Amino acid sequence: MFRQTTKLTAALTLGTLAVLSGCGGSAESEESADWRAATSVEDGGGMDALVEAAQAEGTLNVMGLFPDWANYGGLLKAFSDKYDIEVKNDTSTGASQDLINAVKNRQGQETSLDYLDTGESFAIDASEQGLLAEYRPATADSLPENMQSSDGTWFNHLGGTMAIGCDTAAVKTCPTTFADLLDSEYKGKVAIRGNPTTGEAGFMTVMAASLANGGSLDDIQPGIDYFAELSNKGNLVPTEAEAGTIETGETPIVINWDYLLLQWADDLSDGGVDMSIEIPSDGTVASYYAASVNDDAPHPAVARLWQEFVFSDEGQNLLLKGYVLPGRLDSMVDDGTADEKALSKLLDDAVDKEAPQPTQEQRDSQAKVLADNWAKAVG
C-alpha cells in the first residue's frame, strides 16, 4: 500500500499541486497590496472580495504539507478545486526550521512561501522575528484561547499525542510503554521521526520520554538520558522513521504522533502490514501545530484565503479525516458540525484524556538543554 501512497504524493505534486519551482517576479497589484495589509476578511472587504483577489493571484506556495500527513492531500485538493487556485507544494522537507529558513532566504521572491505550518514554538519565534502577518481567521473565536497568539499571527489548526506504533508481524509482543522499549527483544527495532533538535515531532518524543522517566515539562534531561540508554542497548536505530521503513522492516517500532501512525497503518494495511498503536501509559505529551501567513507572502490574498479555509468547518473536518485533533474540535462537537465517522477513528486515549502540553517558556528552556546535550548523548 505504501506504493500507492507514493503515487498519491507524485500526483499531488505534479500538475495542479506542482512541485515548487522558480518563476518570474511581478509587481504587486493594488488589490494584493490591500490584502497584505488586511488583518481579517472583514478588514479586506469580505469573503467575496478575498476570493476574487485570490483567484487573480492564482497560486498558493506551501512547503512540507506531505499529502499522507493529516490528510493534507485532501485538504490541498479541496482548496484547489473549490477556488480554482494552483497549489505549489514543496515536499523536499517538512522540518519547521526549514520553513522559517525558506521565508528568510526568499525575501521578496515569487518562490517564497505564502503559508507556514510549523510547531508552535517555531511560530512564536517567527512572529518575534517579524516574519508573520497579523491575520485573524473568521472562525478564530471558536478556538480555545491557548490555541492562538495574542498578536494574531498564528493559530493552532491541528494537534496530536505521542504514541508508539508497532508492526505486529515483525514484533512478537508490541510495547505499550517507554519502559518496554528498553527490553532486549527490541534490539535494532526502535526509531523516531527526525532530529529532535530541529523538528517538533522529535522534540516532543524526547519530552514524552522524560515524563515517562521521572522528568517533567521543566526537565527534559531524563528523556535525553533515556534515549542514550536506548541507543547504547542497540535498540534505537538511526534511520528516520517513515511508512516505507516500516513496510521494509527497517523500523518495526516507531515513536511518533498518533495521527501519523494511524495514517501509516491505514496506508500499509492493504499491503499486509498490521500495526498496533498505543498511547504509552507511562508518559506522553500532546502538541498542536500552528498555521500562519508569511508577512512577505508573494500571494497575500491566496495566503489569507487558505488560512480561512483551514479553519472553516470544511477544512477542520478534512484534517479530522487525517486522524488529527482539529483546533476547533470542541466547538464543532458542541455545534454538531464535526464529522462523527472521522472522530470515531481516533485513539480513545487521545480524545478522552488530556495529555500535558509544555508552555512556551518550557519549550524554550528545554530546547536549549536538548540542543546542548542530544548529539553527545545519542550521537
| Interatomic CA distance for residues 279 and 49, integer angstroms | 45
| Structure-block grid coordinates of residue 218 | 521543566
Which pLDDT tens digit goes with each residue over 347-359?
988 888 889 999 8
Q: Is the dihedral of CA 261, 259, 304, 153 positive or negative?
A: negative
Q: What percent of the chain has pLDDT over 70?
A: 93
Chain mean pLDDT for the chain: 91
Position 16 pLDDT exceeds 80 = no
Within the chain, strands assigned E span: 17-18, 59-63, 86-90, 115-119, 154-167, 190-192, 253-257, 275-278, 286-293, 325-326
Closest by alpha carbon to 115, among 159, 75, 56?
A: 75
Q: What integer pLDDT is reported at residue 12 of this predicted model?
A: 40
CA-to-CA separations, 327 to 138, 159, 349, in angstroms, rounded: 14, 7, 17
pTM over 0.85: no
Q: What integer pLDDT is reported at residue 27 of this predicted model?
A: 63
| Interatomic CA distance for residues 93 and 251, integer angstroms | 20
The long-range contacts involving 171-174, CB below 8 angstroms and separated by at least 24 positions, are 171/252, 171/253, 174/253, 174/276, 174/278
Which pLDDT tens digit goes with each residue over 116-160?
999 888 899 999 999 999 999 999 999 999 999 999 999 999 999
CA-to-CA separations, 78 to 83, 315, 325, in angstroms, rounded: 9, 9, 19
Q: Which residue has better confidence, 198 or 185?
A: 185
